[in-house]
Amino acid sequence: MSKQYETVIGLEVHIELATKTKIFCGCSTEFGGAPNVHTCPVCTGMPGSLPVLNKQVVDHALAIGLATNCHITRVCKFDRKNYFYPDNPQNYQISQLYLPIARDGWVEIETGGVKKKVRIHEMHMEEDAGKLVHDEWDDTSLVDYNRSGVPLVEIVSEPDMRSAEEVIAYLEKLRHIVQYLGASDCKLQEGSMRADVNLSVREIGSDAFGTRTEMKNLNSFKAITHAIEGERERQIELLEEGKQVVQETRRWDDNKESSHAMRSKEDAKDYRYFPEPDLVPVMIDDEWIARVKAREPEFRTAKLARYQKEYGISQVDAEILTESRNMAELFEAATALCKKPKKVANWLMVETMRLMKEHDMEPQDLRFSPENLAGLIEMTDKGTVNSSVAKEVFEHVFLENVDPQAYVKEHGLATVNDEDALRKTLEEVIAANPQAVADYKGGKEKALGALVGQTMKAMKGKANPGRINELLREML
């Protein structure tokens, strides 16, 4: 390749908002359920039905718009996007074209230690479509409108990204902002966050954009990365061969790890957008904005810096702790109680993560209280329980949110600090294990470990292994 190329990428990101009811009717947004149970005349497009806007949707969209530094459209409106498809019961989607809720924002991303702003062109609210089920056997298709009318926002970026790495960083940034706001769980695999990639290539140094393609059906960061790399190569190859890139929409096939053309610009639909006459404009005043702004949490970027400065936590650890707002808040609350940030961090990053994995849980599923974690940490510090007992107790804190003090007392797990009792047990262990004693005296350090183990067993784990070690050396 003689020429050097640059990849230019812009994203259209759809995020499903976490509201209890749909955007234009009172039906539940709950996932699953038998087909068409979460439906009513509105979300199945029955004649004569009318949409009524769910204000919670505007609240969430407003929060995302403010957090991504957008200008908020004070009088925003909905428009109809007309196209025929059976998953769309009215054959038009209520969306926003002319006056979307937010415009001209940006988020900052960091890749390889370099910071960069990715601009947001606009963000609008819209309704999701239903789901088609194709029955190959019966040669028919069925439609389920449970998802019809689930609220979405679409965030359209400017073509400011230059690599898959930047794209992933941008998506992670959006995901953290939206999750911290509680506006969505943003799961790519489950479709609550979806990204379409607009990509073109150009010679480095060129100011003009190349012809772009749009890639759809990208359900994981891996798919996004592979699709970007593949599409970049495909376009460069075309240009190198003296051919043109065709402006088209392409569909990513995860199994084949390649994309194919869906439709070209010539087939592009004319959506005949016009203002939705069934809805009145949404008036967003200063008070509404102030109310949403007041609820804004401390975002991840701010927490990352503060954790390092205030708690002396490393960048890597801080990243793990702030991965979710729930985990970060647990950390902060437990630290405020026991004043031991590193120990709290350790419990969260090691035992908590292990148990979450074991029980297939997400950070938002964590149910134990910071008081109980802090209490357990204090008990280990005081030597009330040893570390292996603490782990056992923590499992109960994690699963049942038990009070560790009460639990230890109830199950008799407190460490025995009675020196006489310990010496008595040690004498018995030494007497019962002459071979090990001989080995130790013969220079085998390992043999001491066996004796400590035997003592712990004899004391049912309720002893301090460090003290046993000291006493053994002294007694032998």
Identity of the residue, 84 or 420, whose beta carbon is nearer to another protein in the bound complex:
84
The sign one gets for the Cα dihedral 142, 146, 149, 153 is negative
Q: Cβ of residue 299: shortest distance to another protein, in angstroms?
A: 34
Task: Please list every residue from 331 through 350 that binds another protein, using CB under 8 A.
Answer: none
CB 58 → another protein: shortest distance, Å?
13
CB neighbours of residue 173 within 10 Å: 19
Closest distance to another protein from the beta carbon of 135 (Å): 9
Q: How far apart are CA 344 and CA 359, in angstroms?
A: 21
Contact 26, 57 (CB under 8 A): no
What are the backbone angles phi and psi of residue 168, rounded to the nearest 5°? -65, -40
Query: Which lies closer to another protein via its Cβ, residue 59 or residue 160?
Result: 59
CA pair distance 374, 340, nearest whole angstrom? 9
In the range 124-143, which residues lie near another protein by CB under 8 A? 139-143
DSSP letter at 414 equals P
- Mask of contacts with another protein, 369-398, x by CB under 8 A? ------------------------------
Are the C-beta atoms of 468 and 422 separated by less than 8 Å?
yes
Residue 16 vs 144, nearer CB to another protein: 144
Site for another protein in 2-61 (CB under 8 A): 35-36, 41, 44-53
Q: Which of 56, 69, 82, 369 binds another protein (CB under 8 A)?
A: 82
Beta carbon of residue 34, minimum distance to another protein (angstroms, whole number): 9
| Residue closer to another protein, measured from CB, 36 or 469 | 36
Measured CA to CA, the distance from residue 125 to residue 154 in angstroms comes to 7
Which residue from 41, 38, 46, 37 is spatially nearest to 22, judged by alpha carbons?
38
Q: How far apart are CA 331 and CA 157, in angstroms?
A: 33
- Cβ of residue 129: shortest distance to another protein, in angstroms? 13
Using the minimum distance from each CB to another protein, give the nearer residue, 48 or 434: 48
286 and 66 Cβ atoms separated by less than 8 Å: no
Residue (151 or 363) nearer to another protein, CB: 151
Question: How many chain residues touch another protein (CB under 8 A)?
Answer: 36
Q: Match 């209890």 to its residue by tokens.
A: 20
Residue by residue, DSSP assigns 367-402 as ---HHHHHHHHHHHHTTSS-HHHHHHHHHHHHHH--
In the complex, least distance from residue 140 CB atom to another protein, rounded to whole angstroms = 4
Cβ distance to another protein smaller for residue 75 or 204: 75
264 binding another protein? (CB under 8 A): no
The one-letter amino acid code at 239 reads L
Smallest gap from Cβ 264 to another protein, in A, equals: 17
Minimal distance, residue 24 CB to another protein, in Å = 9
Binds another protein by CB under 8 A, chosen from 19, 90, 157, 200: 90
Task: Closer to another protein by CB, 50 or 261: give it.
Answer: 50
Q: Which is nearer to another protein, 141 or 314 (CB)?
A: 141
**Closest distance of CB 159 from another protein, Å:** 22
- Give least dist CB 82 to another protein, A: 5
CB of 147 to another protein, least distance (A): 14
| Tally of CB atoms within 10 A around 341 | 20
Q: Are 153 and 206 in contact (CB under 8 A)?
A: no
Beta carbon nearer to another protein, 51 or 341? 51
d(CA 159, CA 115): 17
Amino acid at 45: G
Edge-first strand order for the sheet with 274-275 is 92-95, 79-82, 274-275
Q: CB-based contacts of 347: which residues, under 8 Å, 6+ apart?
A: 334, 373, 376, 377, 394
- Complex with another protein: residue 5 or 24, whichever CB lies closer: 24
Name the nearest CA neighbour of 394 among 381, 380, 382. Answer: 380
SS3 15: strand
Query: Do 113 and 176 form a contact (C-beta atoms < 8 A)?
Result: no
**Restricting to residues 265-284, which ones interact with another protein according to CB under 8 A?**
270, 272-274, 277-280
Identified binder of another protein from the candidate list 3, 30, 33, 86, rule CB under 8 A: 86
Residue ranges binding another protein (CB under 8 A): 35-36, 41, 44-53, 80, 82, 84, 86, 89-92, 139-145, 270, 272-274, 277-280
